[in-house]
Every structure is written in structure tokens, then in C-alpha cells.
Amino acid sequence: MKMISEYLHKEVLVIGLAKSGLAAAKLLYDLGAKVTVNDLKATEEDVAVQELKGLGVEVICGDHPLSLLSKKHFDLIVKNPGIPYKNPLIKIAIEKEIPIITEVELAYKISEADIIGITGSNGKTTTTTLIYEMLKADAKNPLIAGNIGTVACDVARQATKENVIVMELSSFQLLGTIEFKPKIAIILNIFDAHLDYHGTKEEYVLAKGKIYENQTKSDYAVINYDDQLVCQTSEKSQANKIYFSTSKELDGGAYIKDEFICFKGEPIINLKDIVLPGKHNHENILAAITAVKLRDVSNAAIIKVLTSFTGVKHRLQYVGTIENRRFYNDSKATNILATSKALQAFTEPTILLAGGLDRGNEFDELLPYLEHVKAMILFGETAVKLERIAIDKGIEVIKRVDNVEQAVYTAFDISEQGDVILLSPACASWDQYKTFEERGDIFIQAVHKLK
């Protein structure tokens, strides 16, 4: 890693511990900063707290005391991405004009490796994984990081000039960047999401757009030609612009023609040979191919991955077949667009399991995609809202249950041979489950119990 002096002797406050906070605090300590850590939920007995205190780092647990910002003059705040900017402590920091970043900014500052950054409302993890696997198949020494579960600044510590870091980025992470500049930046799509965090769609779009913001003519912006908001967001980018499209043949990008994925006029793979399910994944595949072609990855490596890669856990994941009923876990579908794309992946009669955290939105945008949905099993805070659209669509079998496990058993009881049973909630999980992963794991466990 680059041993930079930018943080030497600087007073830095890390708010929010978790994995990213711990990694950021330890990195800043190693870079010579005077580090203070504050976490709402941590206790003095936590291993991470003890580790930091062993280094001499001050750790304040149990609340976010507003007096913290008056006791010391902080030069910088590193904020956990999940902590909203309306948090009282953060609001005071903003008033004091203290710079606030997320740990991906630190990762960029110390990384010797180029970064491929991927964001979008949907498809980030699948695209990030595809890019990583394609680079790996061609011996390009990739590392994977970011919102996919591996802390970016930890990965950047390991990286050398021989590596390339493939980094999944959320709007929460990107909002906390100042100089962050990936060599290759991708916005897959933009849809209404996380408005409870950002406040307005405009603010959400601006956060996503930060991935292009600092790029120069020596960088590449990979742009979804079919998404008007993505195109608008890229207009001010100074990078070389490379487009991908599922609907139009492009001169210099990636597209579909005669059932083949093509890049710059060259056919690479027939769609029928791709094992990743769902037409919506064509967008992710085109974006991934565009990115890796900019790193000179061979067609053979691309084909090897696309003929073997079946998907990422919790993202339209095939779980199994029981008595000719196929079960799919799409717990990562935390918004309407993700669920609509999952529904488009099937033509068979489908039983949809949906519901979760109520973020204030309605679900009418799902209506066009419910044609082959024969039943809906609903749970969580949004069950009543989803029941309304099911009634509007004329779906005859609508059942409300307490949780995902009950939903699996209920769906199986009413199903017939040839049906698809699909968990695709269209909502975040936090009303009942800590994470979408926990929700998906419970679905998988329930399916295995049925077996």
C-alpha cells in the first residue's frame, strides 16, 4: 500500500465500528493519525473495542454524545455508510464543516492497484462477481472488495501494482467520497431506492454519480445506454465513455445481436450458452464484459465464466426442486425493480413470496410483471400494501403469514407440479431480519426442511 502522510498527526473520529470502522481505525492509526472511535451499540467487552484500546485508541461506546465534537477539534470524520446524515452528531459535524468520508475514500488513497468500481440500484453484486471471475480466469490478479462483504481499505492494504481491485459500491459509500476515482467506473442502472436515507431521488442520483465525478481522460466510464438517468449522470464525466445496451447495436461497446453477446462488432458468446438465469442478467453480463475487455481479458476466459457461473447467493439463487416445484432465493431483491426483473426471468406459473420493511412507497409498478403469478404469500410491514396490488391484479390466492419460514410451507401446500416458488421480497428485511442474507438463509433452511 502507499504509506501516505496525509493523515499524520491528524485528529480523526471514526463513527460506527463494525467491520469497516475497525479496519478504518486500524489503518488510520498505522498512518499516524490520532484516532477516536465512537459506536452506539458496542460495549467495552467487545473484541474490536479491546483490540483498539490495546493500540491506545480512545473508544466511546453506548451513544453518540454531542459533546464529543466540542471536546476535540477533529480534522476528519470517517463514517459508517449506514449512519444517516440526519444523525445529530453528523449534523453538527456538517455545521462545523468537518470533512466526512467513508472508508472507500481511504482505500483509494492508499491503493497501489487500479480500481474497477461498480454501482447501480440493482445487479451490483452479480456484476462485481462476474468481473472478478473473468479477470481471475485470465490470470489478471484481481481482488474483490467493498459492499460485497470485504472491507475496501483492508483489501487495498494487500494490493500491489500487479493487482486490480473490483469494488462494489453503494450510494451510501459513494456519498462519503471526495477524491475517489476508479480507473473503470460502472453505473448499471438507477431506480428509486434508499429514499429514506437520501431524502430525494435527486440526492440519490447525485450520490451514484460520484463514481464518475473525478475521472479524467485516462479513465473509463462504462454507461448503460438504455438507462436515461445513467446517461444524464455521465454527461459531465471527463472519462472515455463506453456504452452497453440490451436493445441497440452500438459501434464501440457491448450489445446483443442475433442472439450473441458482442463487443465492438465481435461476437463472444451465444445467449443459449449462458447459464446465469434471467434476461435481466444480460445487462450485468454486458457491463462485466465491457469492463474486462478494457483490461484485455480474452474471449476464452469470458466464455469459461459465463458457461459455468450460476449466480450469487440470495440473488435469484436456485435452491432446489421438490416434487417438480423449483425454489429460488432472491432475498437481495430489496426494491420493486429487483423483484420485477426476477419475475421476468420466469414464464412458468409462479408463487411470489414478498414483503418487508415499509419505506413509504406503494407497489403499483409491480402490476405489469404479475401476469404469470398465480399466488402471493405476504409477510412483514408491507403485507397490506402488497395484498392490495394482488387484489387489483385479480390474483385469486393471497395469503398473509408471519414470516418467511411460514411463507415457504404455505407456498408449497398450495403449489402444483411445474410451479416456481420465488422469494423476491421487493422490500428491505429490517422489520423482521437483521439482513437480507439472514432472510434468504431462513428461506433456504425451510426449503431443505421440506425435502
Nearest Cα neighbor of 369 from 412, 330, 317, 325 is 330
Tell whether 124 is in a known binding site: yes
Tell whether 160 is in a known binding site: no
> Side-chain half-sphere of 33: how many Cα atoms within 13 Å?
26
Widest pairwise Cα distance in the chain: 67
Cα separation of the two ends of the chain: 49
Handedness of CA 155, 161, 166, 169 (dihedral sign): positive
User: What is the spatial distance between Cα 136 and Cα 92, in angstroms, rounded to a whole number?
Assistant: 45
Tell whether 171 is in a known binding site: no
> Side-chain half-sphere of 333: how many Cα atoms within 13 Å?
25
Tell whether 126 is in a known binding site: yes
Tell whether 136 is in a known binding site: no
Tell whether 125 is in a known binding site: yes
Tell whether 72 is in a known binding site: no
Element (DSSP H or E) covering residue 402: none
The answer for residues whose C-beta is within 8 angstroms of residue 81's C-beta and 6 or more apart is 20, 102, 170, 172, 173, 175, 176
Grid cell in block for residue 392:
387489483
The answer for residues whose C-beta is within 8 angstroms of residue 436's C-beta and 6 or more apart is 314, 331, 332, 334, 425, 428, 429
Binding residues: 120-126
Binding residues for ATP: 120-126
